[in-house]
Structure 1
Amino acid sequence: MSRKIKMENLAKPLAVSLSSYAFYRWMRSGSSSDLSKVPGPGGNSALIGHMEAMFGGDGAWDFHERLLTDYDGVVKVHGILNEAQLYISDPVALHHIINSGAFDEDSMLLSFVPIVFGPSFSGTAGEQHRRQRKMLSPVFSVQQIKGLVPVFYPIAYQLRDVFAEHIKSNNGVVDVFNWLSLTALEFIGRGGLGYSFDALNLLKKNEYNDHIKQAIATMTTLFPVISLLPMVGQVGPAWFRRKLVDWTPSSTVHRLRDISDVMQATSEGILEKKRAAMQEGEEALSNLYGNGKDIMTTLLKANSVAGEADKLPEEEILAQMNALIFAGQDTTSNAMSHMLHLLATHPEIQDKLREEILQAREISGGQDLDYEDLNALPYLDATVRETLRMYPPGAIIWRECVKDTVMPLQKPMKLSGSDKEITGLPVKKGSKVIISVMNANRDKRIWGEDAFDWNPERWLNPLPATVGKSKMPGIYHNTMSFLGGNRSCIGMKFAEIEMKMIIFVLLENFVFSIEKGTEIRWTFQILQQPSIVLPNGKVDPRSQLPLKITWVKDAKR
């Protein structure tokens, strides 16, 4: 997988498009705003701005940290064609971005998401987004997730059995990143769609997962071209846009096309089987994976009785399925991989967490814990919270200004060439802003001097008063990990219980450690990716997280 934004496969389409895109952006943005006067780092390229620094390997982590420590939460960075953008971690500014109505999903994503996934809720705006959100929110309720807990446990035990098989070979070293990705696919399959991808079958290669795993790397490589989509995303009918993709002389573009085709065909097959079962009745549904309690069955039932104004057409239902699989797999598996890696490097925390888990299992009489009991384990909850605070899967999120506004600031700032401090920054319609989820979660002025330390026990003690006073607009424990407002993550409770259940089952059985001589690094991409450092000092381009796994009964500390 590429560690940098590579241009060689994109030269021809870019050469044709960049000048047109520059004109397009100029027409959208109108007169220049004060963004050019906002302080920010240098070193930007005329072609790709700071994109290389933000996503270009090991140095990206230092670059994002510098944006947090050297500035006051509002920084100017540069995107494609050196376009000035705001990089925001200031909680007051974030509150305005999320709740004022002056900002919405980035036009780049509004053009890109429907092409790859169809018109899903993550790629729609205005009334269409409101209607989809109204239909989807109830099916992700706590009550709905509670009913899925019995569906989830067999998947966690199947992963346990997979690891048990691996202990017999390879000296117990397992690429947990790969298997957690497959596990997350099975969770979203059974709990989200009422369908099994048979993802944890040791004897079967999962082609669907192979395609999905390529998506993030492909999107990162294609970022310059994706940025052009607001200009061309509505050109002609859908069949003509498809022809444009086919004609594009880029193997990377064609790979993303193929990924999209596989997702669409899979979702169509699942939906056809689901509707056939629904016509047969509740008994047929109960015989499917998910026992008829999966999210898609609930959505289809709700949609069948909804009024015409709220009803989702079939193309939107298929789009929700595509987006649900993609968003639910990569983000959750990424967070769980981070957690197991952190536990492997902090054995004392791993031991404390295991002690809590074993005690809970004993108190339950060996029975599986239900939704409330899993969420009642304080050290497990603290470990999940701290991992999502430090390593949110979506570390940065783009938004776009949809009407001229003045963005309030927590701390007054001076613009270049002026001695006057301002408390509100004028932002023009069409301006892009980057919500830095990770930096908002790591600000020392909010979380204290140990903000950059992974320390689950911070959640077992009173948090600094500054955490509550910051009024961070996120929906998850004063962090931005699941965003906030009408674009917040509707799958938060699904992801949270999935993480807790898997960690519960794995830690009661296994001890995780790093094999001597293995160095693991995470690259900063759209989603962070783990890899190993090769003997020559270079980072292996393959995404992997090899951890040594030992049975608890056999482990010696």
Structure 2
Amino acid sequence: MGVFTQLLGSLGGTLAAYGVYRLLKLVFMELTSPLRNLPGPKNPSIIWGNLKEMREEMTIEDALLNRWVEAHGTTFKYHGILGMSRLHTLDPTALNHILMKTDIYQKADATRYILSSIVGAGVLVVEGDKHKQQRKVMNPAFSPSQIRELTQIFVAKSIQLRDVLVADNASQGGISRVEVMSWLSKATLDIIGLAGFNYEFDSLNPSGEENELSAAFASLFASSTKPSIIPMLRAWFPFFRFLRDEKDGEAKQSSQTMARIGNQLLRESKASIHDKSEWKSRDLLSLLVKSNMATDLPENKRMSDQDVLDRESTGTSWALYALSVNKGVQDKLRQELLSVDTENPTMDELNALPYLDMVVREILRLHSPVASTLREAMQDDIIPLSNPWTDSKGVVHDTIRVRKGQAVRIPILGINHSSAFWGTDAQTFRYVSVL
């Protein structure tokens, strides 16, 4: 017992010493960072940096980001977890450099860890050759002809949603308040199920019960969005990934349910493809499996079954909001849509509606589904700028030196709302821009 206690004590001491070493290294890297003289907001929290105020204050108008840009310029630093400096830039030359140098600037390890824990190590997560391999296998499943085949699913579920809302409104005397986000999420889930892997969630059925897979999805995403210090530490510091969190059990159970049903769907899809006389499915999973089983695809270029499984509304809610407060756009769009003489339009018929296309583009500009993304420098680099910056010593610079491991934030929503790119009315749904 004494030896075991000593062993545990030694192990604990070693872990503590390693933790102190990592912390001291972090402090040293921060003190010697090439960004140390770059202007930026003060660090309000040793633990959270500026992340908490970014989460709490950033609105659709990006008021916080606008204040920072006004105070510090288009390129500045802010503080992430444990006060680590992150580069933030709206500079077009810098953004072009970062986005074009995909071998240098890749998704941060923390981002990949978080995404892979939710959606697996799919094309959204992996980088480099693995990403190219998965893209090569996936491309046939996302060709225009295949997407055209799926349009009928999108339209059918849209009609079902319309009928559900009309019936609900009629049952309440013709006037009702609708929680549209909830219904749109259900429609989206149904579409993903049928178009993605030929699975009927039946979420839009008002009298239906939540099935096992939809419950697992809901549980997993709910647990992944609850703020907690342990998941943050595990994401940003691999050393802490041995720590357990109260939500881990729930997330593991959901993942196991998804894996079990996913493997069943995968087996059924493979069996159907082997029996060519039976194979008629056009869902993305079946097309992906068929592409992966192609005889001209080398074995080392194929994806594993796990890779295949990992492939597999908010925007519509914002679209309805934007249309509700822009009656002129709403009326013009309705007029164009009514010119289509069927309630089951094909993709070609929808693509032939220019005003619809313009409205969708403007909504996606103003209400981007993804507000920002993080990249991490895989090596030391020098980023060119079109707008020079002045350091704390008064020296003007037209480049920024970054060190390997430096986190860089690409503010997608900030770019879409930037007056420098879009004019002074960039943060409004512009009727003129969609004429």
TM-score scaled by structure 2?
A: 0.86
Alignment of 1:343-492 (within 5 A): 343-359=323-339, 361-362=340-341, 366=342, 368-417=344-393, 419-460=394-435
1:24-62 CA-partner distances (Å, limit 9, x unpaired): 973996983321221111252111001111112566942
1:225 aligns with 2:230: yes
Say which is worse superposed, 164-173 or 58-67, in terms of deviation: 58-67
CA distance in 2 between counterparts of 1:194 and 1:20 reads 51
- CA, structure 1 residues 459+217, in 2 after alignment: closer, same or farther (shift >3 Å)? same
Alignment of 1:141-160 (within 5 A): 141-160=143-162
Alignment of 1:176-325 (within 5 A): 176-207=180-211, 208-213=213-218, 215-216=220-221, 218-222=223-227, 224-229=229-234, 248=244, 250-282=245-277, 284-286=278-280, 292-305=281-294, 306-321=297-312
RMSD after superposition: 2.9
1:476 maps to: none
CA distance in 1 between counterparts of 2:74 and 2:254 reads 37
1:72 touches 1:90 (CA, 8 Å); kept in 2? no
2:30 touches 2:85 (CA, 8 Å); kept in 1? no
Paired residue total: 414
2:76 touches 2:88 (CA, 8 Å); kept in 1? yes
2:367 touches 2:413 (CA, 8 Å); kept in 1? yes
For 2:279, the aligned partner's letter is L
2:155 touches 2:345 (CA, 8 Å); kept in 1? no
- CA, structure 1 residues 310+20, in 2 after alignment: closer, same or farther (shift >3 Å)? farther
Cα displacement (A) at 1:341: 1.6
1:172 aligns with 2:166: no
1:383 touches 1:456 (CA, 8 Å); kept in 2? no
- CA, structure 1 residues 229+456, in 2 after alignment: closer, same or farther (shift >3 Å)? farther
Cα displacement (A) at 1:402: 0.5
- CA, structure 1 residues 338+59, in 2 after alignment: closer, same or farther (shift >3 Å)? closer
Which of 113, 116, 131 does residue 114 from structure 1 map onto? Answer: 116
Which of 129, 136, 151 does residue 127 from structure 1 map onto? Answer: 129
1:96 touches 1:408 (CA, 8 Å); kept in 2? yes
For 2:153, the aligned partner's letter is V
CA distance in 1 between counterparts of 2:28 and 2:204 reads 48
CA distance in 2 between counterparts of 1:211 and 1:28 reads 43
CA distance in 2 between counterparts of 1:18 and 1:346 reads 58
For 2:200, the aligned partner's letter is S
1:386 touches 1:454 (CA, 8 Å); kept in 2? yes
Which of 307, 311, 318 does residue 338 from structure 1 map onto? Answer: 318
Counterpart secondary structure, 1:204: coil
1:33 touches 1:426 (CA, 8 Å); kept in 2? no
CA distance in 2 between counterparts of 1:234 and 1:318 reads 28
1:398 touches 1:432 (CA, 8 Å); kept in 2? yes
CA distance in 1 between counterparts of 2:144 and 2:17 reads 46
1:153-180 CA-partner distances (Å, limit 9, x unpaired): 2111111111122112354222111111
Structure 1: give runs of 5+ residues left out of the alignment: 1-15, 236-240, 287-291, 322-332, 461-557
Counterpart secondary structure, 1:53: helix
- CA, structure 1 residues 391+312, in 2 after alignment: closer, same or farther (shift >3 Å)? same
For 1:334, the aligned partner's letter is T
1:67 maps to: 68
CA distance in 1 between counterparts of 2:384 and 2:84 reads 22
Counterpart secondary structure, 1:174: coil
For 1:23, the aligned partner's letter is L
Structure 2: give runs of 5+ residues left out of the alignment: 1-15
1:22 touches 1:81 (CA, 8 Å); kept in 2? no
2:12 maps to: none
CA distance in 2 between counterparts of 1:223 and 1:69 reads 32
CA distance in 2 between counterparts of 1:62 and 1:255 reads 36
Larger radius of gyration: 2
Cα displacement (A) at 1:369: 2.4
1:438-481 CA-partner distances (Å, limit 9, x unpaired): 01111111111110111254033xxxxxxxxxxxxxxxxxxxxx
